[in-house]
């Protein structure tokens, strides 16, 4: 667990601006830790307008003093993000007054509105990110402890699954507990929020402010136990309510003798005009939608007039934090040719160019699942089958670069995507040659903030390929100071962003300026909506597992097959250059996986030059990305509490070339191959596919992808029900006697399954 908790939310004042909130817990992070975490979040978020550091006074103000040292790496990063007039703010709990206070970078006090906004916006964001809003599955609705019915409710226990969230809630709750006397009662509506109260009392103890004897903490069990609270205790007690959408519980507590000023609700979402406030009671976080963050009001119904009851919807009774509903039905999804229909011409044009690669590291150390070397598109040889498409792309690129090399061009920004630097220098040379003027300066994107301002000049920002938005948004922000009143053009050969709506938002943000929409220009030669990053690419998981296989063999004093040793070495070196021809394990005879017949999804894969393994893998990635965003729920690859979809095992029958089966295994997300979390029939169907791919001298083509199937099971990317997995491992081992590598992997798989 890290020592700082990062939350980002939209600025309450400026559209498109992001604020980063950094809550520092009891253990102060080192500046190195904080700088590393901050760098990661900045890279993910892109343009940041303001940073708020939140925590206890001695920790936060000490941090500010360190940040004032320009030699500190973290101070330099803040300067690069926010500029010389940094918007960083420091919000603390003041033990002298028992309240929250704050100052800016220079020590000027913040007003109460700024502190209240930070509390509400950070807690609202935490609540939403943790899934605090529960929505009923289709055909169901909830009966709450208040007896009202609704298809949504607030579930604070989801928020408390992360200790950072517990710490943050406790921190903002401190002023409400500051005046609690020794031996007093602190009463909650549910024991589920005890963790927040215990953490708050722990913070009071560390501040030397916990009264003696310690307060008594207990729960009145929501509406059910209100009448059991003695009135004398209710009158003196402090009450904390987890969440409310009606204020009914607070009103009942007041009727029982509680003082409204002693009632605090952690999360409140009141439907104005329907529910009335309780004067004097306090809500720590108002979740109401404000146009930028928050949640739409929840409509509650009396049981007698509930429209969902009238439609015979299933009623789920909420009693405490634990309740169950029927699991969502699992949908089988097939990959079809239509899933690539819009992108066939682009993919066909790229096949054989060696443009696609997999498992390559970016300058920021992120590992891309799939990427593109645009040099093959812009300056490489033009195979006959791609001449028409490539000629069109190169003409578009040449026209775009000519339009942007104006007489006011002073700077060409080279982004971090591979080949961006060479494209930027080509534009620089072309500008100098055609304009007869001094060549513009080529600047890396991370060096922009060090440039002297050049008002009313123009800049070309070159990213060979755009596969994320953070870097370009950071460049856009930096150019506001470097080039006031100037013109900016953003150029890319390709755009690999999914879903398309995300790409549209990026274009809107980058082209917005003083003259409104399209103040600046934005151009890409072609787009492929594809998920280029995932939590753990399959090759990274494979490398980890192969190292475990090696250790397992060493422990048993068994020789490590040379194929495993060489594969480990290849995967360790791969991020430097990416994988093109060796994404997959070879077949049982050591032959690279390749198409046996033309690719049904995209034509021309076997025409010279033939499609590489990376080409075929990228095509499957595009198809699966389209399915993840499909408009038809019955064909959408989705996975959440209410919807589940997996790839149908029949896909491995329809696309039975080993290289295509391997592509599906590598391109799919683990949840999309989680047959071990499905009903028996799905797992059994996948078991049948695996059995059909076992070694068979009479049908060697059926077992081409055997190593890939085994590795997918070893890494957990493909799962079966335990009984099916054990059955497969046993038969696999028996059938692999003549293939030492497969036999070794099979023995390890069997041991791993038994160990689990």
pLDDT cut 70: percent of the chain above it: 95
pLDDT, residue 458, reads 92
Tell which CATH architecture fits domain 133-317: 3-Layer(aba) Sandwich (3.40)
**Residues facing residue 19 across a β-bridge:** 9, 50
Residue indicated by tokens 């006011």: 408
pLDDT of 538 > 90? The answer is yes
Interval 451-460 mean pLDDT = 90
- Find the range with the poorest average confidence among 281-285, 402-406, 519-523: 402-406
pLDDT, residue 314, reads 63
pLDDT of 756 > 60? The answer is no
Strands 133-135 and 409-414: unpaired
Find all residues with CB under 8 Å of 658, minimum gap 6, and list them. 584, 587, 593, 701, 703, 704, 705, 708
How far apart are the C-alpha atoms of 174 and 162, rounded to whole Å? Answer: 19
How far apart are the C-alpha atoms of 455 and 363, rounded to whole Å? Answer: 30
- Find the range with the poorest average confidence among 71-85, 142-156, 590-604: 71-85
DSSP string for residues in 690-713: HHHTS--TT-GGGGTTHHHHHHHH
For domain 372-527, the question of CATH label 3.40.50 is answered with yes
pLDDT of 657 > 50? The answer is yes
Instruction: Render pLDDT for 186-234 as a digit per residue (tens, 0 to 9).
Output: 999 999 999 999 999 999 999 999 999 999 999 998 888 999 999 999 9
DSSP-derived letter for residue 370 is E
Q: Counting every residue, how long is the chain?
A: 756
Interval 266-276 mean pLDDT = 83
**In contact, 549 and 564? CB cutoff 8 Å:** yes
432 pLDDT tier (thresholds 50, 70, 90) = confident
Q: What is the 3-state secondary structure (H, E, C) of 439-493?
A: CCEEEEHHHHHHCCCCCCCEEEEECCEECCCHHHHHHHHHHHHHCCCCEEEEEEE
pLDDT, residue 326, reads 56
**Residues facing residue 288 across a β-bridge:** 295
Please tell me whether the peptide bond between 213 and the residue prior to it is cis, using omega within 30 degrees of 0. yes
DSSP string for residues in 135-150: EPPTTEEEE-TTS-EE
pLDDT of 752 > 70? The answer is yes
CA 489 to chain centre: 29
Burial of 381 (0-12, 13-18, 19+ CB in 10 A): exposed
pLDDT, residue 601, reads 81
15 pLDDT tier (thresholds 50, 70, 90) = confident
Interval 131-151 mean pLDDT = 81
pLDDT, residue 530, reads 95
Interval 614-633 mean pLDDT = 95
**In contact, 357 and 580? CB cutoff 8 Å:** yes
Range with top average pLDDT, 269-273, 491-495, 602-606, 675-679: 491-495
Q: Which residue has the higher pLDDT, 485 or 265?
A: 265
DSSP-derived letter for residue 291 is S
pLDDT, residue 85, reads 58
DSSP-derived letter for residue 513 is B
Which tokens is 69 given?
């040292």
pLDDT, residue 1, reads 43
pLDDT, residue 145, reads 76
Which tokens is 217 given?
């903490």
- Find the range with the poorest average confidence among 163-167, 270-274, 310-314, 495-499: 310-314
pLDDT cut 90: percent of the chain above it: 61
**In contact, 25 and 56? CB cutoff 8 Å:** no
DSSP string for residues in 219-258: E-TGGGGGGGS-HHHHHH-EEEEEEESS-HHHHHHHHTT-
pLDDT, residue 123, reads 97
pLDDT of 320 > 70? The answer is no
The yes-or-no answer to whether 133-317 and 372-527 have a common fold is yes
**Residues facing residue 315 across a β-bridge:** 141
Within 10 A of 211 (CB to CB), how many other CB atoms are there?
Answer: 15
Find the helix or strand (DSSP H, E) in which 522 lies: strand 521-527
Q: Which residue has the higher pLDDT, 239 or 674?
A: 239
Find all residues with CB under 8 Å of 408, minimum gap 6, and list them. 456, 457, 458, 486, 487
274 pLDDT tier (thresholds 50, 70, 90) = confident
The CA-based angle 65-69-73, given to 5 degrees, is 115
pLDDT, residue 66, reads 83
110 pLDDT tier (thresholds 50, 70, 90) = very high
DSSP string for residues in 77-140: HHHHHH-SS---EEEEEETTTTEEEEEETTSPBPPHHHHHHHHHHHHHHHHHHTT-EEEPPTTE
467 pLDDT tier (thresholds 50, 70, 90) = very high
pLDDT, residue 613, reads 97
Mean pLDDT value across the chain: 89
Per-domain residue ranges of the chain:
4-110, 133-317, 372-527, 551-560+582-755
């Amino acid at each position: 667990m890290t020592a700082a908790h990062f939350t980002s939310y939209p600025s309450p004042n400026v559209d498109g601006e992001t604020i980063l909130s950094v809550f520092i817990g009891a253990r102060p992070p080192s500046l190195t830790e904080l700088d590393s975490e901050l760098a990661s979040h900045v890279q993910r978020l892109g343009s940041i307008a303001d940073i708020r550091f939140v925590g206890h006074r001695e920790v936060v103000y000490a941090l500010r003093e360190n940040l004032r040292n320009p030699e500190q790496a973290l101070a330099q990063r803040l300067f690069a993000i926010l500029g010389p007039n940094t918007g960083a703010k420091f919000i603390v709990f003041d033990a002298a007054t028992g309240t929250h206070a704050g100052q800016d970078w220079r020590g000027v006090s913040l007003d109460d509105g700024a502190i209240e906004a930070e509390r509400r916006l950070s807690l609202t964001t935490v609540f939403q990110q943790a899934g605090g809003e529960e929505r009923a599955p289709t055909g169901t609705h909830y009966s709450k402890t208040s007896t009202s019915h609704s298809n949504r409710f607030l579930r604070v226990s989801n928020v408390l699954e992360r200790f950072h969230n517990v710490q943050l809630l406790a921190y903002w709750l401190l002023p409400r507990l500051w005046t609690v006397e020794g031996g007093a009662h602190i009463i909650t509506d549910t024991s589920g929020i005890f963790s927040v109260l215990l953490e708050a009392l722990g913070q009071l103890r560390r501040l030397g402010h916990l009264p003696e004897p310690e307060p008594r903490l207990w729960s009145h069990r929501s509406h059910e136990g209100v009448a059991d609270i003695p009135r004398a205790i209710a009158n003196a007690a402090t009450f904390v309510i987890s969440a409310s959408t009606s204020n009914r519980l607070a009103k009942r507590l007041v009727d029982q003798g509680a003082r409204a000023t002693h009632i605090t609700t952690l999360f409140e979402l009141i439907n104005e005009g329907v529910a009335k406030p309780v004067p004097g009671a306090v809500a720590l976080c108002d979740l109401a939608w404000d146009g930028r963050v928050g949640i739409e009001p929840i409509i509650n119904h009396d049981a007698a007039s509930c429209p969902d009851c009238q439609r015979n919807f299933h009623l789920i009774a909420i009693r405490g934090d634990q309740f169950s509903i029927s699991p969502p039905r699992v949908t089988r999804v097939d990959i079809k040719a239509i899933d690539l229909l819009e992108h066939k011409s682009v993919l066909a044009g790229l096949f054989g160019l060696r443009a696609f690669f997999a498992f390559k590291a970016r300058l920021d150390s992120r590992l891309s699942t799939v990427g593109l070397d645009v040099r093959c598109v812009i300056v490489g040889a033009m195979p006959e089958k791609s001449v028409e498409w490539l000629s069109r792309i190169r003409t578009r690129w040449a026209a775009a670069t000519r339009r942007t090399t104006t007489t006011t061009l002073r700077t060409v920004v080279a982004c971090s995507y591979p080949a961006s630097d060479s494209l930027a220098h080509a534009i620089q040379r072309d500008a100098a040659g055609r304009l007869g003027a001094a060549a513009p300066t080529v600047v890396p994107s991370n060096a922009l903030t060090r440039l002297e301002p050049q008002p009313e000049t123009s800049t070309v920002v070159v990213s060979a390929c755009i596969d994320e938005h953070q870097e370009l948004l950071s460049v856009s922000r930096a150019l506001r100071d470097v080039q006031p009143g100037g013109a900016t053009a953003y150029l890319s050969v390709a755009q690999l962003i999914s879903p398309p709506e995300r790409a549209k938002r990026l274009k809107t943000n980058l082209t917005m300026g003083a003259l409104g929409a399209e103040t600046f220009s934005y151009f890409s030669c072609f787009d492929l909506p594809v998920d280029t990053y995932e939590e753990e690419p399959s090759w990274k998981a494979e490398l980890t597992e192969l190292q475990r296989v090696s250790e397992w063999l060493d422990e048993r004093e068994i020789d490590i097959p040379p194929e495993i040793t060489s594969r480990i070495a290849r995967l360790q070196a791969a991020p430097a250059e990416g994988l093109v021809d060796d994404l997959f394990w070879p077949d049982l005879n050591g032959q690279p996986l390749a198409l046996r017949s033309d690719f049904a999804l995209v034509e021309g894969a076997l025409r010279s030059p033939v499609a590489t393994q990376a080409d075929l893998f990228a095509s499957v990635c595009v198809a699966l990305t389209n399915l993840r965003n499909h408009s038809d729920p019955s064909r959408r690859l989705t996975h959440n509490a209410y919807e589940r979809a997996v790839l149908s095992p029949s896909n491995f029958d329809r696309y039975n070339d080993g290289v295509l089966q391997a592509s599906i295994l590598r391109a799919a997300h683990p949840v999309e191959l989680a047959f071990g979390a499905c009903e028996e029939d799905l797992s059994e169907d996948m078991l049948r596919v695996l059995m059909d791919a076992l070694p068979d001298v009479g049908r060697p083509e059926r077992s081409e992808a055997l190593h890939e199937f085994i590795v997918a099971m070893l890494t957990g990317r493909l799962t079966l029900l335990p009984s099916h997995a054990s059955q497969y491992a046993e038969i696999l081992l028996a059938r692999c006697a003549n293939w030492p590598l497969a036999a070794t992997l099979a023995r390890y798989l069997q041991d791993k399954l038994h160990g689990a």
